A and B are shown apart, each in its own frame.
Chain A
Amino acid sequence: MALLRAILARGVRPAIRLPTVGPMAVFHVDTGGCEGCAMEVSALDGAAYALPATGLRFVTTPRLADVLLVTGPLTRAMAPVLEAAWHAMPDPRALVAVGACAIDGGPFGENYAVLGGLEGRAPLDASIPGCPPSPASIVAGLAALLGASGLSSSA
């Protein structure tokens, strides 16, 4: 969707460095997948990983978020919602695609109801492949954003 590309991309953003002090605030948007990736992200939010105190905090509004974490293929109905969430976030902000659908559409490529993945539509600061990726690999992908080494910046 041209609208989305124009607004999310708006030139090339420099690779971001998120502050390494304090927990990383993540706003999770599922843009219409099978819920598999969303369930794996929710495992991170639970007792099995117990991350909130140590560096990863899920927030319920994009206004407080450092990272916009997207799971699922972007459906046409969710494109305006994702756009609004991105614009509500303060700088510096990162866009992370989790799972095959969010990256390139995976099994749900473009059709009458779906736009596909974010790759090529918006500059991704990290993409975490898998269908669905395990919670451990999602943590590893997010940790890369905290930027000791170079970022995996695709698109």
Chain B
Amino acid sequence: MIRAEPDPAPRTAAALIRRGEAEAGGWRFRLEEEGWHDLAEALRHDPLPFVTLWADGRDVHALFLEGGERPLVASVEPYGGRYLGLSPERPAAAPFERCVQDLWGFSAMEARDVRPWLDHGLWTATWPLSARPGPAAWPPDPPDFRPVPGECMILGSGPADGGHHTPAHLRLAVDGGGVVGQAEWRLGYAHRGVVARLVGLDADAAVRLAGRAAAGASVAHQSALCRAIEVAAGQAADAATVRTRVLLAEIERAATHLHDLSRVARAAGGAALAAECERLREAILDQCGRIGGHRLLMDRVCPGGAGDPAMDDAAVSIGGRVADLLEAGRAALMRGRGWPGLEARMAGVGVLEQSAARALGVGGVVGRASAREEDLRRLVPGYRREWLDSGVRRGGDVAARIDLRLTELGGVARLLRAAAGSMPDAGWKPQAVGEGVGFAEGPRGAVWYWVRMVDGCVAAAHACDPALAQACALEHVLAGAQAEDVGMIVHSFGLSAAGADL
């Protein structure tokens, strides 16, 4: 592209975004089509971390995390329903581009993959969220799977396979030796239209709904949306509320880690470890059920400055009891883990390399087990850096993911004690700009929300759960694995299709 005055120095991607027109509080910028093309070009060389991509009916937005700590959003208005896709430079953007295509009808040019992702052709309309939805075609097109390497047998499982998880279909191409040649997900069975349902709700109702986006990360979803709403309204949570959110998030982390551990251990044949995890999880959820009767901590986080003092006291006392339970159960967990056969079953299986984890945007436990130092808790208000010492693993295999979860359980117990005894600073009050980005580190990875509030109600929103990136990473990891290890590898990611489909 020829410009009148070429820049003497190559611009960074972040600087290119900032050159756009500021629309919200100095973190969201509108780019013209040309600027968006420059951004895509710059991303080829610039390591600016991509987080998520969404549409709001008029624009397409891409969220980046500048310097690993400042959210930065680039917006572009699709011209004729088309915009330049970012997935050639950022493979992690591919599933988001496909979601935007299915929901809004904006197509990404030069995208890596343009097949439908959520829409199976069974909805009442195509592009249901766009201003002019199209009619649904009947009968629906058969699923468009990737071509399978020759001489492979197709093994499909799901969406109803008797496992206790959200529906998803996994299609494996297995060769004669039982090695998976190619793995592909078909998701969308659990798409409930969370984003469409958020629109029009007031702040409290929106947070209640977000608590039901993915049950394993209910507190994370609630807190992330609360922060987004508070940023939009120029509010800040008071110190006690901030501390309660930290405590609840850590309790949820323990419960979900135990759930995921028991699933992996069962699949790996480690019944003793699984049994210990299930008993410990049940004891923790029983404690949680005593605050308001919600074992999975739904409806426990409220938006706005001041929380409920009774809730704050309850969170401190339950946090203490959960820490006691975790410390008492530690020896039994380690005994279950220590069985040599289990190590032989898991070591070196299902390896996700660091480079793949980075390219596909996988964070959370899975990313940290592949040597990525990804933990948003260092940015979340209420946490102190010295509390977060769980570290990373280099292996990237099933054993590393199990060990990291076990280590983090110990970290949760320490953190619950430290947080209960501290009083964090009240949050910094941002300027009200009507829009906000909020995030939280859920048990399985980073949860992001973007909202635009008008008259106290949600006018547009976006939710991003780590499951989408995990599904893509699993396709990569499963290729080359033994067919009999597939269940164990999938469980070791803690994938929840509920979070991927939303």
A-chain residues with CB within 8 Å of residue B262 when the two chains form the complex:
46
Query: Would you call B128 and A34 a contact (CB within 8 A)?
Result: no
With a CB–CB cut-off of 8 A, which chain A residues contact B387? none
Partner of A34, one of B212, B274, B276, B289: B212
A130-145 residues with Cβ-Cβ distance < 8 A to B are 131-132, 134-135
Which of A12-20, A58-66, A120-128, A146-154 has 4 or more CB atoms under 8 Å from chain B?
A: A58-66
- Cβ-defined contact, B188 with A35, below 8 A: no
Inter-chain contact B159/A78, CB cutoff 8 Å: yes
CB neighbours of A58 from chain B (8 A) = 162, 164
Q: State whether A39 and B164 are in contact (beta carbons under 8 Å apart), knowing that A34-B212, A34-B214, A46-B262 are contacts in the complex.
A: yes
Q: Which of chain B's residues has its CB closest to A134's CB?
A: B295
Q: Check A29 for interface membership: any CB of B closer than 8 A.
A: yes
Q: How many A-B residue pairs have CB under 8 A?
A: 151
Q: Assuming the A-B contacts A27-B162, A77-B122, are A36 and B215 also in contact, with contact meaning beta carbons closer than 8 angstroms in the complex?
A: yes
- Give A47 to B283 CA distance when docked, in angstroms: 12
Contact check: which of B159, B165, B196 meets A38 at CB < 8 Å?
A: B165
Chain B residues, Cβ within 8 Å of A113: 123, 128, 191-193
Q: Are B191 and A32 in contact (CB under 8 A)?
A: yes
Q: Which listed residue, B167, B192, B298, touches A131 by the CB 8 Å rule?
A: B298
Is B215 touching A72 in the complex (CB atoms < 8 A)? no
Counting CB contacts under 8 A, is A2 at the interface? no
Is residue B355 contacting chain A, with contact meaning CB distance below 8 A? no
Chain B residues lying within 8 Å of A135, measured Cβ to Cβ, are 282
Q: Are B215 and A32 in contact, with the CB atoms below 8 A?
A: no
**Contact status B295-A32, CB under 8 Å:** no
Contacts of A40 in B (CB 8 A): 295-296
Interface size on B, residues (CB 8 A): 50
Q: Judge whether A81 and B190 touch: CB under 8 Å.
A: no
Chain A nearest CB from B210 CB (Å) reads: 10
* A-side contacts of B128, CB under 8 Å: 112-113
Which of B163, B212, B214, B262 gathers most chain A CB within 10 Å? B212
Chain B residue, CB-CB nearest to A79: B122
Question: What secondary structure prevails in chain A residues at the interface with B?
Answer: loop
B208 near A107 with CB under 8 A, answer yes
Q: What chain B residues lie within 8 Å of A49 (beta carbons)?
A: 282
Residue of B nearest to A84 (CB): B160
Extra contacts besides A35-B496, A75-B192 (10): CB < 8 Å: A27-B160, A32-B498, A38-B166, A41-B164, A46-B262, A47-B279, A61-B162, A79-B122, A81-B159, A81-B167
The residues of B with any CB-CB pair to A shorter than 8 Å are 120, 122-125, 128, 133, 159-167, 188-193, 196-197, 208-209, 212-216, 218, 259, 262, 274-276, 278-279, 281-282, 285, 289, 295-296, 298, 496-498, 501
User: Residues on A close to B: CB < 8 A?
Assistant: 27-36, 38-43, 45-49, 58-62, 72-73, 75-82, 84-85, 107-108, 111-114, 131-132, 134-135
